[in-house]
Amino acid sequence: MEKRKKIVVVGGSAAGPKAAAKARRIDSNAEVIMLQKNAELSMASCGYPYYVGGFFDNRDMLLSNPAGITRDPVYFKNAKDIDARVNTEVTAVDKNRHMVFFRNTITGETGEMTYDKLIIATGATPLMPPIPGIELEGITTLQSLQDADFLRKIGDDGEVKKAVIVGGGLIGVETSEALQLADIEITIIELVPQLLTFLDWELAKLVENHVRSKGANVITDNGVAAFLGKDGKLTAVKLRNGTESPCELAVVAIGVRPNVKLARDIGLTIGATGGIEVNAYMQTSDPDIYAVGDCVESVNRLTGKKVFAPYGDLANLQGRVAGENAVLGNCVTFPGTIQTGICKVFDYAAGSTGLSEFTAKRLEYPDIITVINASLDKPGFMGGKLLVTKLVADRKTGKILGAQCVGPGNVAKQIAQWSMAIQGNLSVEDIVNADLPYAPPYSLAIDHCIATAHVMQNKMKGRMTGISSMDVHQKLANNEKPFLLDVREPGEYRQMRLGVGETLIPVGALRSRLHELPQDKNIEIICFCQVALRGYEAALVLKHNGWKNVKVMEGGVASWPFPREK
């Protein structure tokens, strides 16, 4: 009889169980063992913020399969024929002897076993700032189920009144919403000048405005200098600029770093990003050791560069690849990531796929072009909600490099569309005439993403000269005096307006009121409307009538990230 392959998986959260299950399904003969440091297995950790926020009350749902069976060692044994051992920390690996050494974290008992193939899925660890007071009671992360239990209890108890969220990334904003729903006053503190750095500044600012509108405080461009306490308990955070923010709770969410201690001890190559280096087979520098999930680095498919991309969905996909290769020999590959992500932020969603303008510039992409577009996600009569998208493309080829989208509308669908478009190597030209599912309950007749491509095409063909709201704001700050032309209707203006010295002439009246414009045809005129189209139409009217320096403010009033008069 053929020797049974012995596959040992280190880690039992997301990528590990997926690798183990795939190995088992591919090779019914193999011995599959999974060693998990924690007490739980296959925790739906991306769901923690929603458990904390009370979107659901049954904690077991985080630990159960869809049929309601808890994913514990008995389940893994019976349903999957996987020997899953919890509370079992791997302390060392001898790669030459193919040995794993482990220790039970409860009993202290130690053990060892051999492996044919080892799969490392040790995940990531929250970063903790090395600042005074970090040991105070009342400071936590939201990384483990225990963290989730702790925060949920705080919400249920209703005693904590003020909380500080340190870090305005994805976990930070998700946690903010969760605690805000428990009537806790939230202050988010972010070191860089914006929340959610996967977005460019102006879209992040729209999200920030929304977060503020929900009553949360946001402090950007500032860090925590110290946690202050009394009797060992947190009472406030002290910011770098000296101000103090009282709070009884602080959630640290400044990011995670790949947990590579074991890999480093083994002598595996660690990449420049800090993650374990793997090839397309998810194989480490040791051919008998694979690594998957938040502890590895990935390839960005657009740039070819290594990135640290700790996304739950990729962890699962990588697990499948490693599981199959571990039992069959290298036969399937993981193509890498385009860094697609999304998060819920109160009534908004914020998502991104591919490269932001910031990232593209940092990577010195030679010739990119961007556009911002806003529209409803479906018709107004069907209750359509706003979407604001920023598209990044290669100017010469039109190839789509990235898209970001924020707003109360169906952001997930937009980002899903753009991510498939990028993976299909599509260009702006392809999206201009894309065939997407249209019916009024689901989209506009010209879907938001197609309309965005239309505006981009107008820019690329030189028919529209766009200007960003940031550049307009900067001109005003510099005391330049462009003529600002709001071409919306009076009713729209009464409801919501910039109040930066603009002149209101509805586009329908423009042709008969041209005498109200500056008669110097070289003066800079910046047209805008609520979102996009009317501003463009107005610019065309002006150009046709001889004005030479006419621009359209992209995204209109709806995407203006700065304070408005109304």
Q: Which of residues 404-423 bind a copy of itself (CB under 8 A)?
A: 410, 412-413, 415-417, 419-421, 423
Sign of the Cα torsion 195, 199, 205, 207 reads: negative
How many residues in the chain? 566
Nearer of residues 85 and 543 to a copy of itself, judged by Cβ: 543
Q: Looking at 71-79, 112-120, 160-168, 288-296, which segment touches a copy of itself (CB under 8 A)? A: 71-79
Could you count the other beta carbons within 10 Å of the beta carbon of residue 537?
17
Stretch that binds a copy of itself, among 158-166, 219-227, 428-436, 515-523 (CB under 8 A): 428-436
Binder of a copy of itself out of 447, 486, 502, 554 (CB under 8 A):
447
Stretch that binds a copy of itself, among 33-41, 61-69, 268-276, 476-484 (CB under 8 A): 61-69
The rounded distance, in Å, linking the Cα atoms of 406 and 195 is 13
Residue 152 found at the interface with a copy of itself (CB under 8 A):
no
Asked whether position 530 contacts a copy of itself by CB under 8 A, the answer is yes
Residue 56 binding a copy of itself, by CB under 8 A? yes
Q: d(Cα 546, Cα 525) in Å, to the nearest integer?
A: 12
Give the 3-state secondary structure of residue 420: helix
Chosen residue from 50, 102, 346, 483 binding a copy of itself by CB under 8 A: 50
Which residues ranging from 476 to 515 are in contact with a copy of itself (CB under 8 A)?
Answer: 488-489, 491-492, 507-509, 511-512
CA 27 to chain centre: 36
Question: Per CB under 8 A, does 96 bind a copy of itself?
Answer: no
Residue with Cβ nearer a copy of itself (111 or 508): 508
Q: Rounded to 5 degrees, what angle do the CA atoms 154, 156, 157 make?
A: 65
* Residue 63, token pair as written in the block: 């630990």
Residue list 352-371, contact with a copy of itself (CB under 8 A): 353
CB of 416 to a copy of itself, least distance (A): 5
Give the span between the Cα atoms of 297 and 309, in whole angstroms. 7
- Rule CB under 8 A: say whether 228 interacts with a copy of itself: no
For residue 131, the minimal CB distance to a copy of itself (Å) is: 30
Cβ(453)–Cβ(431) below 8 Å: yes
Q: Which residues pair with 553 in a beta bridge?
A: 467
Instruction: Report how far residue 84's alpha carbon sits from residue 18's, in angstroms, rounded to the nearest whole number.
Output: 12
CB of 393 to a copy of itself, least distance (A): 15
Interaction between residue 381 and a copy of itself (CB under 8 A): yes
Q: How far is the CB of 269 from a copy of itself (least distance, A)?
A: 23
State the nearest-atom distance from the C-beta of 289 to a copy of itself, in Å.
21
Buried b (16+ CB within 10 A) or exposed e, 499-509: ebebebbbbee
The distance of Cα 508 from the centroid of its chain, to the nearest Å, equals 41
